[in-house]
Every structure is written in structure tokens, then in C-alpha cells.
Amino acid sequence: MDAPPLKGLWNTLAIPERWETTAHVASEKLSSLLSFFHHLTPRTWLPWYWLMVGPLLLACLTYLSSTIRFHMARRRDNDKRTLQTPLVPYWVPGLFHSVSLFSPPVFLPELIKRFGTERPVEVRAGWLRFIVIANPELIKTVFRKSKQVANKSTTLFALEHLMGLPKDAVRFFRADNSGLSATPRKSSAVPEDSRINFLVAHSSAKLLQGVHLEAMSAKYLSTLFRTLDAPLHKAPGSHRVSVGSGWTEFPDLYTFLQRITIGSTVEAIAGSKLLELYPGLVDDLPRFQSYVPKFLQLLPRWLIPEAFRVRDRLLGGIKAWHVHAHQHSDCNRLGPDDPEWEPYFGIKLVRRRQQYALELKEMTADARAAEDLGLLFASTANMTPAAFWLIFEALKDPILQSRLKAEVSASLRAPPPESTNGEGNDKSHDTPFDIATLLAQPLLQSAYAESLRLFVSVLVSRVAEYGDVNIAGYTVAKDNFLVMYSHLLALNPGEWARAGRTLTKSLEEFDAERFLVEPGWTRPLGKQAAAATEKNSTDTVAAEKKTKSQGKSGHVPLSYDGRRFSMDGLLGLWIPYGGGDHICPGRHLAKRQILLTFAALFTKFDLELTFPSPSAAADVKPDMRHAGFGALPPLGKVPFRMRRKVG
């Protein structure tokens, strides 16, 4: 066999230049491989020859034809006659992109590099179809269509494979097709009290805001203060040490933060009895979180026995706590005069979840334990790494640290009283900070938003659950997935420029001031946005050149006076919490937890990194094995020391 016939076929096709290279290289490679085998193999090996060459030939032809179809679909798209989501070229029929999809955080940026972000593209794993969207305008449209494209399937996947929700309960959740609105979908026959997806979503949205949120934040802060005033663990399993006015060394900032934030969050949400009954939870929960990638790769129990043992312990502990709480308290205490927090069930959200679940036979004790493991996981798994990066960046940069501390000090008020009232119905005025003032500080907010931009890597997904959906002219067929990867947006300089943001530091770097804008700044609208794209791209290049020429040591002095914090124009671009109706209901709590942790630590202690060499801090990188699943923990240990402030 010779190359010319293929080349002839190639030449007869009028192939546009952008994809000429790929397909041309494929045909060249195929030709040389074929001649290589042809010359090497004696005639007697002919069947073997075809056995080896046949699949290769099929793969190359598949790639060639799928490339042609991809670009023809795009060309039709250009003609504006019809909008299609073209299927990305693939090599193996039936398998499509399954292998690449094992690692979306690697595959998706490659796709965007090849095909751009302007239009969505489709990838497949067997019969599953995913439409990848990396354009903020389209993402906004998806979020606006929350009634038609929901996240039920993804939530259920996590509940089943991560939290261990029993199969019967999974079927029960799946069978509920009544939607998430207060009014059930017309075609649904699910009884009102069995609308499990609505009950879960509605109760968390309602009971994680307003007065409930205020009480929860205050409880979190008072518990954190109490924890920090007591002797502290240096590492899991170690003895507690009292941190006094002399320096105390700690081996790792991240594990230290996990312990104090998880303990305080669990107590603020689930009450104090859970930790009294199961003190090991503060170690088991972070252990469980470290196994997330393995659980979600669906590895079986025999391959990751320790991961399953930890989960079994957690589920057992939560189940025992539920029994104990029902013996001593009443989950129906949900009236306006009932306490926001009580020691057995914690906050009203936890009581409400028990209340409706007890009425549903499918929500067995095991199912309720899995659901609450989900809640405790959601409330700690992302906020701790996010708080870590904020604190770590401040420790690396003394000027940033002092400016952030100045904002914390400006939010302080009279010292906290010695104790809280009976059932812990903390009021915000019982806290040492004016929380509202703290949350409104511009640099703190900007640094918080920046930690989430850079260190939350989440695949936000939606499914066209009830029928075909039109997204800005593109048809998404029923049961197809829409995938929006936060990092593709977070790191796209063109889109940030289009949003009117001048990048003084590359998007790959941490810039605490990124979300501060000059007085009078407004986000560009319509045509203005296109002009801004050009202008700001030039600004970005200039800024990047400046940063490079200054080298690593060149510190640009921070100046935020007069500038304000703004998220204007970043809808669809900054999506660490997802968006639309299904946006994370815990986002307000998370912001409070992160900023209060920062404020509490730096108010009570002096902290310093203690790496053996000064450059080691710059080498601390996020652990990309967690990419796609949420906030990224750091790779490796971050040693530090702290001493209690006196006076």
C-alpha cells in the first residue's frame, strides 16, 4: 500500500487552513506507518499485518472524518443558518473522548486552546454527551435557564458515590421529577411531601441566610475564639500545646487550619453534642476529604479500603448522633421563638432536614446520615483550602498582611463577653468584630475573591433534565450535560479584559487587589466591551512585561485607598460557587467563615512561615489531583510558628 491514494483524497477535499495541519499530519503519519509495516512484514504475515494496521487505519479515518464533520458544523455555524455544537474530533468510534475525560482539568484547557471559547463544543464518553461551555455570555444564559437545566444528576452522583447514599434513597431522589420551584412541574405526579429535591434545596437556601446566617456566623466565631484560646494540637494525633507569648512551631499550616475550622464549623452547624460523642470527627472529615478524587473516580472498596473505612466511621458517628439528638431534643422546634442554635441538633437547617426526612420511608437512618455527611462536607471541604490560601498569601507578603490586618482592626469593637447565653443564641453584637464592617472591607473582600478565583477549580455541570433546551440558539438535547469549568474562565485574560478589568498581574498569579476598581469605574456594556477588550489586552501585555522586568523581588506597593471592591461584569466569569438557581446556598456562610478565620487568627496571634529557605514558600503549589472537585489544597507541608499577642 502506498501513500498517494490518501494524499489524493486529501487534495480533493477543500480543507480550510486552520485544521489542515491536524488532518494533514494525521494522513502523513498514517501513510508512513503503512509503508513502514508494508516494507517490514513478509507476505506470510499478511493476516497479522492487517490485524495490526486495520485498527490504526480505522482510527485515522475516524479522526479524519470527524475532523471534517467538526469543521463543516462550525462553518454552517458561521453562516448563521443554524447553530450546532460540533463534536470534537476523535480517534476511536464508540469510545469517543472517554480516555481524555478521565482528566477533565487537563483535557478541557486543551480543547479551549484548540477551538477557542466563543462557541460550545461537544465531547462524548460512550452514550454520554457533554457540551463544554467556556464563554461567560453563554454561561449566564445557562444560569438563567435554571428551571430547564438542573444539577440534580450531579448532586445525586456525589451523594451516591461520595457520601454513600443507599440505593433506595438514590432511586427516590431520581424519581422526583417535580423540579426545584415552589410550584411542582405540571407533568409531575410526585406528592407534595415527597418532593425531596425541592425540600433539600429550599430548606438550605432559606435557612442559610438572613437571621439564621447571622446567628451561624456569630456561633462560628465564638467557637473559633474558644478553640484558639485553648491549648492547640500541633498535628493530628499529637498532644495539645499552649501557645503563649513565645514562638511555638507548627509543622503544617493547612492541617492546623483544617482542625480549627472543621471543629468550629461542625459545632456551629450541628451543635456541640456531635463532637462530644465523636471527637475523632475532626480528624476523619479531612481524611475523608483527601479521598474525594478516588471516590469520584469510582474506585471500588477493595482498592481503597481505608477510604471506605473512614467513610463508614463518619456515617456511623453521624447516625449515632442523630439517635442521641432525637432522644434529648425535638427537631420540630423551628418557630421564630425557638433557638437558632441548640447543642443537640445545632442550627434550624439540621432540624428541618430531620423533620421532613422522618416523614419519608425512603429516608432511612442511613440515608439521613449520608445527607448530613454531605452537609458537613460541603460546609468545610472548600472553605478551609480557600482560607488557607488567603492566610498563606498574607504570610508571604508582609505589606499585604499589614494592610489586611489594618482592615481587620478597623472592624474590631469592644472585647467579647466571657460567655454566651444558655442555648447559644449568639447575637452578632456578642462578637469582637462588627461582622458587617469586616465583610465590607475592600481589600479583604478582594483578596478573598482572588483566593477563590485562583484556588477553586470546580466543574459546574447541568443536565437538560426535562427535554431539549435552547441555549442562545444552540440546541441541547434531553439528558445531555453542560459543563462549565471555573478555571477556564478564571484564567482567560481576553474575557477579563472584555469585562473591563485591567490586569496589573497575570491571571496565573495571586493579586489581592484584582477586584478593586477606580472611583467612577463602570463595567463596559455592548460595543464598549469589544473596545475594552482591545485596550485591556494591550494593558495586560504591558503589565505582564512590567512584572517580568521587575523580577520576583520587585514589589509593587499596594494602594487601595479610594478604590472600591466590585464584582460588576464578572457574572459567568467568576464562578467558584456555580450560578443561577442552583448556586451554592452556603456561599454567604463561606465568605464569613473565611474572613472571620483570617480576622480571628491575626487578631490573636503573630504568625510567620518557617521554611528552611526563603524561596521555598514560592514553591508551594495547589494539589491539582483535586482539580475539578472544588477548592484545591496545597501540595506539601507549610511549616509556621505563632505566638499569642499580649495586651
Stretch that binds ligand HEM, among 122-130, 307-315, 549-557, 582-590 (CB under 6 A): 582-590
Q: Which is nearer to ligand HEM, 572 or 576 (CB)?
A: 576
The one-letter code for the residue type at 196 is I
Name 481's bridge partners.
130, 463
Q: Go through 104-132 and write b for each residue having 16 or more CB atoms within 10 A of its CB, e for each that does not.
A: bbebbbebbeebebebbbbbbbeeebbbb
Check residue 571 and report its DSSP letter: T
579 binds ligand HEM (CB under 6 A): yes
Position 379 contacts ligand HEM (CB under 6 A): yes
Nearby residues of 222 by Cβ (< 8 Å), 6 or more positions away: 416, 420, 424, 426, 430, 431
Q: Kindly state whether residue 590 participates in binding ligand HEM, applying the rule CB under 6 A.
A: yes
From the list 250, 574, 577, 602, which residue makes contact with ligand HEM (rule: CB under 6 A)?
A: 577
Kindly tell me which residue out of 631, 632, 638, 642 binds ligand HEM, with binding defined by CB under 6 A: 631
**Of residues 428-457, those binding ligand HEM (CB under 6 A):** 456
**Binding positions for heme:** 584
292 binds ligand HEM (CB under 6 A): no
- Torsion angle (degrees, nearest 10) of CA 74, 78, 83, 87: 10
Stretch of 27-35, 371-379, 546-554, 605-613 contacting ligand HEM, by CB under 6 A: 371-379
* Cβ within 8 Å of residue 438, ≥6 positions away: 407, 408, 411, 444, 595, 596, 599
Contact stretch for ligand HEM (CB under 6 A) within 33-41, 73-81, 465-473, 583-591: 583-591
C-alpha cell at 149: 437545566
Q: Check residue 573 for interaction with ligand HEM (CB under 6 A).
A: no
DSSP-assigned letter for residue 118:
S
Minimum CB distance to ligand HEM, residue 635 (Å): 19
Specify the 3-state DSSP secondary structure of 428.
helix
Torsion angles phi and psi, residue 592, rounded to 5: -65, -45
120 lies in the site for ligand HEM, by CB under 6 A: no
Closer residue to ligand HEM, CB minimum distance, 201 or 607:
201
Which residue, 84 or 151, is less far from ligand HEM as judged by CB?
Answer: 151
State yes or no: residue 633 binds ligand HEM (CB under 6 A). Answer: no
Is 86 in a helix, a strand, or coil? coil
Using CB under 6 A, pick the residue from 133, 458, 516, 601 that binds ligand HEM.
Answer: 458
Q: Which stretch binds ligand HEM (CB under 6 A): 245-253, 374-382, 503-511, 524-532?
A: 374-382
Cell 486529501 -> residue: 10
First to last CA, the chain: 87
Pick between residue 155 and residue 248 the one whose CB is nearest to ligand HEM.
155
Applying CB under 6 A, does 84 fall inside the site for ligand HEM?
no
Size of the site for ligand HEM (CB under 6 A): 27
DSSP state for residue 499 in the 8-state scheme: T
Q: Which residues pair with 643 in a beta bridge?
A: 606
Give the whole-angstrom CA distance, residue 442 versus residue 426: 26
- Strand-pairing partners, residue 458, are 628, 629
Of the candidate spans 85-93, 280-288, 373-381, 602-610, the one that interacts with ligand HEM by CB under 6 A turns out to be 373-381
586 scored as a contact of ligand HEM (CB under 6 A): yes
181 binds ligand HEM (CB under 6 A): no
**Residue 497 Cβ vs ligand HEM, minimum distance, rounded to whole Å:** 25
Does residue number 585 form part of the binding site for ligand HEM (CB under 6 A)? Answer: yes
Asked if residue 254 lies in contact with residue 638, where contact means CB atoms within 8 angstroms, the answer is: yes
Is beta strand 564-565 parallel, antiparallel or unpaired with respect to 149-150?
unpaired
Exactly one of 347, 363, 383, 489 binds ligand HEM (CB under 6 A); that residue is 383
- What is the distance between the alpha carbons of residues 501 and 536, in angstroms, rounded to a whole number? 7
Quote the least distance from Cβ 573 to ligand HEM, whole Å: 14
Residues contributing to the annotated binding site: 584
Give the interface with ligand HEM as residue ranges (CB under 6 A): 151, 155, 201, 204, 208, 375, 378-379, 382-383, 386, 456, 458, 460, 576-579, 582-586, 589-590, 630-631
